[in-house]
Amino acid sequence: QVQLVESGGGLVQAGGSLRLSCAASGRTFSTNPMGWFRQAPGQEREFVAGIDWNGSITYYSDSVKGRFTISRDNAKNTIYLQMNSLKSEDTAVYYCAASRQSFSILGTENNYWGQGTQVTVSS
């Protein structure tokens, strides 16, 4: 059974930092792109950051570019999201995603999903 378990969310003041982790189990994702999405109350889930299978390519939404950094450790089957200079508009539930397809581009379909972790940024 495949599981993606996020951790590291919480409450932080604007301008602060958090580091999210997503640990995968049940299969290896060392050849699959992975990434992060988020969903704020009353809004649709949106893409935040993605990383290719070996970490050589990363991509971000314009709203987080320059503030967030995605990385992965395939030996641990884990990805991370370092979030700096947090803003109130970053408040959302953050979801980890892993593509079911190897050597592909992370999209919104055909993924495994985690249960989400809450990030709240107070202004």
Two tokens at 114?
């985690």
Reply yes or no on whether the pLDDT at 95 is more than 90.
yes
CA 35 to mean position of chain CA atoms: 5
Average pLDDT over residues 5-19: 98
Average pLDDT over residues 35-58: 96
Task: Write the CB contacts of 109 (distance below 8 Å, at least 6 apart in sequence).
Answer: none
Reply yes or no on whether the pLDDT at 67 is more than 90.
yes
- 63 contacts 92 by C-beta, under 8 angstroms: no
Reply yes or no on whether the pLDDT at 5 is more than 90.
yes
